[in-house]
Amino acid sequence: MKGVILAAGRGERLKPLTDRVPKPLIKITDDKTCIDFVIDALKKVVDEIVIVVGYMGEKVGEYVLSKATDIPIKIVKNPSPQKGNLTSLLCARPYIEGESFILTNVDHIFPSDFYVNHFKPKESLTIAGQSKKSRIILEDEMKIKVDESGRLLDISKDLKEYDGAYIGVSYIAETTSEKYWNAVDKLMLKSDPKACVEDVMKELIKEGIFPKVQWLDHVAWFELDTIEDLKKLKFNLAKLSNNCKLGGFVDSGFSFER
Protein backbone atom coordinates (compact mmCIF):
# COMPACT_ATOMS: atom_id res chain seq x y z
CA MET A 1 0.00 0.00 0.00
CA LYS A 2 1.15 3.52 -0.84
CA GLY A 3 0.83 6.72 1.14
CA VAL A 4 0.19 10.03 -0.64
CA ILE A 5 0.87 13.39 1.01
CA LEU A 6 -0.46 16.50 -0.71
CA ALA A 7 2.07 19.22 0.12
CA ALA A 8 2.05 21.69 -2.78
CA GLY A 9 0.15 24.67 -1.40
CA ARG A 10 1.62 28.10 -0.63
CA GLY A 11 0.26 28.37 2.89
CA GLU A 12 -1.00 31.92 2.30
CA ARG A 13 -2.64 32.17 5.71
CA LEU A 14 0.67 31.34 7.38
CA LYS A 15 2.44 34.40 6.02
CA PRO A 16 4.97 35.84 6.77
CA LEU A 17 6.38 32.44 7.86
CA THR A 18 5.73 30.91 4.46
CA ASP A 19 7.50 33.74 2.68
CA ARG A 20 10.71 32.05 3.83
CA VAL A 21 9.72 28.46 4.66
CA PRO A 22 7.24 26.18 2.88
CA LYS A 23 4.37 24.96 5.06
CA PRO A 24 5.65 21.33 5.21
CA LEU A 25 8.90 22.54 6.82
CA ILE A 26 7.41 24.77 9.50
CA LYS A 27 8.82 23.72 12.86
CA ILE A 28 6.21 22.29 15.21
CA THR A 29 8.71 21.25 17.88
CA ASP A 30 12.45 21.75 18.22
CA ASP A 31 13.18 18.63 16.18
CA LYS A 32 10.06 17.96 14.10
CA THR A 33 8.50 19.80 11.19
CA CYS A 34 4.95 19.50 9.95
CA ILE A 35 5.86 16.89 7.36
CA ASP A 36 7.82 14.84 9.91
CA PHE A 37 4.62 14.22 11.87
CA VAL A 38 2.76 13.12 8.73
CA ILE A 39 5.53 10.79 7.55
CA ASP A 40 6.03 9.26 11.01
CA ALA A 41 2.39 8.24 11.18
CA LEU A 42 2.08 6.98 7.59
CA LYS A 43 5.27 4.94 7.41
CA LYS A 44 3.93 2.47 9.96
CA VAL A 45 1.40 1.08 7.49
CA VAL A 46 2.60 1.81 3.93
CA ASP A 47 5.53 0.49 1.87
CA GLU A 48 6.21 3.73 0.00
CA ILE A 49 5.26 7.39 0.37
CA VAL A 50 4.63 9.77 -2.53
CA ILE A 51 4.87 13.45 -1.61
CA VAL A 52 3.50 15.97 -4.10
CA VAL A 53 5.27 19.30 -3.68
CA GLY A 54 4.81 22.68 -5.33
CA TYR A 55 5.70 25.94 -3.60
CA MET A 56 9.39 25.77 -2.57
CA GLY A 57 9.23 22.12 -3.56
CA GLU A 58 12.98 21.77 -3.88
CA LYS A 59 13.43 22.69 -0.22
CA VAL A 60 10.83 20.13 0.84
CA GLY A 61 12.40 17.42 -1.29
CA GLU A 62 15.92 18.13 -0.07
CA TYR A 63 14.80 18.07 3.56
CA VAL A 64 12.84 14.82 3.31
CA LEU A 65 15.44 12.95 1.27
CA SER A 66 18.29 14.10 3.54
CA LYS A 67 16.77 12.36 6.55
CA ALA A 68 17.39 8.72 7.32
CA THR A 69 14.25 6.72 6.65
CA ASP A 70 13.29 3.07 6.58
CA ILE A 71 10.79 3.53 3.76
CA PRO A 72 11.13 4.66 0.12
CA ILE A 73 9.93 8.21 -0.47
CA LYS A 74 9.24 9.67 -3.90
CA ILE A 75 9.06 13.44 -4.41
CA VAL A 76 6.77 14.56 -7.26
CA LYS A 77 6.57 18.19 -8.43
CA ASN A 78 3.20 19.78 -9.23
CA PRO A 79 3.94 22.49 -11.80
CA SER A 80 0.54 24.15 -11.27
CA PRO A 81 -0.26 24.02 -7.53
CA GLN A 82 -2.25 27.25 -7.80
CA LYS A 83 -4.93 25.26 -9.64
CA GLY A 84 -5.82 23.29 -6.51
CA ASN A 85 -5.07 19.99 -4.84
CA LEU A 86 -6.82 17.94 -7.52
CA THR A 87 -3.85 18.71 -9.78
CA SER A 88 -1.56 17.34 -7.06
CA LEU A 89 -3.55 14.11 -6.98
CA LEU A 90 -3.11 13.82 -10.75
CA CYS A 91 0.65 14.26 -10.35
CA ALA A 92 0.71 11.30 -7.97
CA ARG A 93 -1.46 9.14 -10.22
CA PRO A 94 1.31 7.41 -12.24
CA TYR A 95 2.83 6.08 -9.01
CA ILE A 96 -0.35 4.84 -7.30
CA GLU A 97 -2.92 3.95 -9.95
CA GLY A 98 -4.03 0.34 -9.66
CA GLU A 99 -2.80 0.09 -6.07
CA SER A 100 -4.25 0.64 -2.64
CA PHE A 101 -3.33 3.99 -1.12
CA ILE A 102 -3.98 6.35 1.76
CA LEU A 103 -4.42 10.00 0.80
CA THR A 104 -3.76 12.77 3.32
CA ASN A 105 -2.64 16.39 3.61
CA VAL A 106 0.63 17.74 4.92
CA ASP A 107 -1.15 20.14 7.28
CA HIS A 108 -3.17 17.50 9.13
CA ILE A 109 -1.31 16.43 12.25
CA PHE A 110 -2.34 13.07 13.68
CA PRO A 111 -0.97 10.87 16.48
CA SER A 112 1.93 8.61 15.56
CA ASP A 113 -0.34 5.56 16.01
CA PHE A 114 -3.22 6.98 13.95
CA TYR A 115 -3.07 4.42 11.14
CA VAL A 116 -2.07 1.52 13.37
CA ASN A 117 -4.69 1.86 16.09
CA HIS A 118 -7.39 4.21 14.83
CA PHE A 119 -7.95 4.64 11.09
CA LYS A 120 -8.38 0.99 10.10
CA PRO A 121 -10.64 0.81 7.03
CA LYS A 122 -12.87 -2.22 6.59
CA GLU A 123 -14.38 -1.03 3.30
CA SER A 124 -12.62 -0.57 -0.05
CA LEU A 125 -13.37 3.15 0.00
CA THR A 126 -13.24 4.75 3.44
CA ILE A 127 -12.83 8.29 4.74
CA ALA A 128 -12.10 9.48 8.28
CA GLY A 129 -14.59 11.73 10.03
CA GLN A 130 -15.63 13.16 13.36
CA SER A 131 -19.29 13.60 14.27
CA LYS A 132 -20.94 16.83 15.34
CA LYS A 133 -22.01 15.00 18.50
CA SER A 134 -18.38 14.88 19.63
CA ARG A 135 -17.34 18.50 19.02
CA ILE A 136 -18.20 21.76 17.34
CA ILE A 137 -17.72 21.62 13.58
CA LEU A 138 -15.97 24.78 12.44
CA GLU A 139 -17.38 26.87 9.62
CA ASP A 140 -14.53 26.25 7.18
CA GLU A 141 -14.34 22.47 7.72
CA MET A 142 -15.30 19.96 5.04
CA LYS A 143 -18.71 18.79 6.22
CA ILE A 144 -20.18 15.36 5.57
CA LYS A 145 -23.67 13.87 5.42
CA VAL A 146 -24.17 10.13 5.95
CA ASP A 147 -27.04 7.64 5.94
CA GLU A 148 -27.98 5.36 8.83
CA SER A 149 -25.36 2.78 7.84
CA GLY A 150 -22.51 5.31 7.69
CA ARG A 151 -22.37 5.63 3.91
CA LEU A 152 -21.30 9.04 2.64
CA LEU A 153 -24.16 10.90 0.93
CA ASP A 154 -22.57 14.33 0.47
CA ILE A 155 -19.41 16.25 1.25
CA SER A 156 -18.86 20.01 1.03
CA LYS A 157 -17.83 23.00 3.12
CA ASP A 158 -21.17 24.56 2.23
CA LEU A 159 -23.53 21.89 3.60
CA LYS A 160 -26.27 23.32 5.80
CA GLU A 161 -27.32 19.94 7.18
CA TYR A 162 -24.52 17.59 8.11
CA ASP A 163 -23.51 14.85 10.53
CA GLY A 164 -19.88 15.74 11.03
CA ALA A 165 -16.65 16.71 9.33
CA TYR A 166 -14.14 14.98 7.10
CA ILE A 167 -10.72 15.11 8.75
CA GLY A 168 -8.56 14.81 5.67
CA VAL A 169 -7.75 11.11 5.27
CA SER A 170 -9.08 8.71 2.62
CA TYR A 171 -8.36 5.06 1.86
CA ILE A 172 -8.78 3.75 -1.68
CA ALA A 173 -8.33 -0.01 -2.11
CA GLU A 174 -6.85 -1.66 -5.18
CA THR A 175 -10.28 -3.15 -5.94
CA THR A 176 -11.79 0.35 -6.15
CA SER A 177 -8.90 1.99 -7.98
CA GLU A 178 -10.42 1.90 -11.48
CA LYS A 179 -13.74 3.39 -10.34
CA TYR A 180 -11.92 6.05 -8.33
CA TRP A 181 -9.77 7.21 -11.24
CA ASN A 182 -12.75 7.13 -13.60
CA ALA A 183 -14.42 9.56 -11.20
CA VAL A 184 -11.30 11.75 -11.25
CA ASP A 185 -11.39 11.79 -15.07
CA LYS A 186 -15.07 12.80 -15.12
CA LEU A 187 -14.35 15.60 -12.68
CA MET A 188 -11.46 16.88 -14.78
CA LEU A 189 -13.66 17.00 -17.89
CA LYS A 190 -15.83 19.58 -16.15
CA SER A 191 -12.86 21.97 -15.97
CA ASP A 192 -14.11 23.39 -12.70
CA PRO A 193 -11.35 25.65 -11.28
CA LYS A 194 -12.73 25.12 -7.76
CA ALA A 195 -12.68 21.31 -7.93
CA CYS A 196 -10.80 19.57 -5.13
CA VAL A 197 -9.96 15.99 -4.18
CA GLU A 198 -13.06 15.75 -1.98
CA ASP A 199 -15.18 16.30 -5.09
CA VAL A 200 -14.02 12.91 -6.34
CA MET A 201 -16.18 11.41 -3.60
CA LYS A 202 -19.17 13.36 -4.91
CA GLU A 203 -18.60 11.93 -8.38
CA LEU A 204 -18.48 8.42 -6.97
CA ILE A 205 -21.73 8.97 -5.10
CA LYS A 206 -23.39 10.04 -8.38
CA GLU A 207 -22.35 6.66 -9.78
CA GLY A 208 -23.96 4.85 -6.86
CA ILE A 209 -20.63 4.17 -5.16
CA PHE A 210 -20.82 5.25 -1.54
CA PRO A 211 -17.62 5.70 0.52
CA LYS A 212 -17.89 4.52 4.10
CA VAL A 213 -17.22 7.00 6.91
CA GLN A 214 -15.17 5.74 9.84
CA TRP A 215 -15.99 7.93 12.84
CA LEU A 216 -12.93 8.75 14.92
CA ASP A 217 -14.48 10.98 17.54
CA HIS A 218 -11.96 9.95 20.22
CA VAL A 219 -8.83 10.88 18.24
CA ALA A 220 -7.01 14.15 18.94
CA TRP A 221 -5.64 15.83 15.82
CA PHE A 222 -4.85 19.28 14.49
CA GLU A 223 -5.02 21.22 11.23
CA LEU A 224 -2.39 23.84 10.49
CA ASP A 225 -3.80 26.66 8.38
CA THR A 226 -3.00 29.91 10.18
CA ILE A 227 -0.51 31.50 12.54
CA GLU A 228 -3.09 31.11 15.30
CA ASP A 229 -3.35 27.39 14.50
CA LEU A 230 0.43 27.09 14.86
CA LYS A 231 0.39 28.82 18.24
CA LYS A 232 -2.36 26.50 19.49
CA LEU A 233 -0.59 23.42 18.18
CA LYS A 234 2.69 24.32 19.87
CA PHE A 235 0.84 25.18 23.08
CA ASN A 236 -1.02 21.87 23.12
CA LEU A 237 2.08 19.80 22.43
CA ALA A 238 4.05 21.67 25.08
CA LYS A 239 1.33 20.86 27.63
CA LEU A 240 1.41 17.26 26.57
CA SER A 241 5.16 16.63 26.38
CA ASN A 242 5.55 16.30 30.15
CA ASN A 243 3.22 13.33 30.50
CA CYS A 244 3.53 11.22 27.36
CA LYS A 245 5.75 10.57 24.38
CA LEU A 246 5.45 13.37 21.83
CA GLY A 247 3.48 12.26 18.82
CA GLY A 248 1.48 9.61 20.65
CA PHE A 249 -0.76 12.25 22.16
CA VAL A 250 -4.01 10.33 21.79
CA ASP A 251 -2.85 7.76 24.34
CA SER A 252 -2.94 10.33 27.13
CA GLY A 253 -6.63 11.03 26.67
CA PHE A 254 -5.58 14.56 25.78
CA SER A 255 -7.83 16.72 23.61
CA PHE A 256 -6.56 19.64 21.56
CA GLU A 257 -7.94 23.08 22.16
CA ARG A 258 -9.39 23.82 18.73
pLDDT computed for residue 245 by the predictor: 47
pLDDT reading at 244 higher than 90: no
Q: What is the mean pLDDT of residues 109-133?
A: 94
pLDDT computed for residue 237 by the predictor: 80
pLDDT reading at 166 higher than 70: yes
pLDDT computed for residue 241 by the predictor: 59
- Percentage of the chain lying above the pLDDT 90 cut: 76
pLDDT reading at 53 higher than 90: yes
Q: Is 208 exposed, middle or buried (0-12, 13-18, 19+ CB in 10 A)?
A: exposed
pLDDT computed for residue 251 by the predictor: 39
pLDDT reading at 110 higher than 80: yes
pLDDT computed for residue 240 by the predictor: 64
pLDDT computed for residue 255 by the predictor: 42
pLDDT class of 65 with cuts at 50, 70, 90: very high
Nearest to 60 by CA among 14, 139, 104, 6: 6
Whole-number average pLDDT of the chain? 90
Q: What is the mean pLDDT of residues 176-194?
A: 90
pLDDT computed for residue 104 by the predictor: 97
pLDDT computed for residue 83 by the predictor: 82
pLDDT reading at 90 higher than 90: yes
pLDDT class of 198 with cuts at 50, 70, 90: very high
Q: What is the mean pLDDT of residues 46-57?
A: 96
pLDDT reading at 197 higher than 90: yes
Chain Cα centroid distance, residue 152 = 18
pLDDT reading at 248 higher than 70: no
pLDDT reading at 64 higher than 70: yes
pLDDT computed for residue 80 by the predictor: 86
pLDDT computed for residue 176 by the predictor: 95
pLDDT class of 78 with cuts at 50, 70, 90: very high
Instruction: Using DSSP bridges, classify how beta strands 48-53 and 2-7 pair: parallel, antiparallel or unpaired.
Output: parallel
pLDDT reading at 79 higher than 60: yes
